Homo-oligomer: A and B are copies of this chain.
């Protein structure tokens, strides 16, 4: 069963309907591995057979997050970006300050976890999760503007 089909089955099981908008959006998320903003996703879908409304994209992404199928994050700009929930581990991000691309990095968090423990104890704070982003320039942009 394809990823799309298994997500659809999961939703149907919960009593949700697989409409063309929903299907299109899920497909786009599967295809697009990097976190993407609602507006950008909508722009992309304008080329599709039956482009869903901007509002629908917002609502659908929020819905998929509630269902645990997608996750969202915000970087230093105020924009919320969504990506499929990875099967395991959690992601950190490489943000190119030049072309604004956001790229997930899957990596072991063990170093950060050690840090978490230390910081938590020192500050009387119970750490539940963390977010780590690296800002800089991606390979392509370094080539363009050396």
Contact partners of A74 in chain B: CB under 8 A:
74-78
**What number of copies of this chain does the assembly contain?**
2
**What class of interface size applies to chain A in its complex with B?**
35 or more
Given contacts A105-B119, A131-B133, contact A138 B111 (CB under 8 A): no
Select one of B77, B116, B129, B136 contacting A127, CB under 8 A: B136
Contact partners of A124 in chain B: CB under 8 A:
138-139
Q: Does chain B have a CB within 8 A of A134?
A: yes
Do B105 and A134 have beta carbons less than 8 Å apart? Answer: no
Contact partners of A136 in chain B: CB under 8 A:
120, 125-129
Complex Cα spacing A128 to B133, Å = 11
Complex Cα spacing A88 to B60, Å = 44
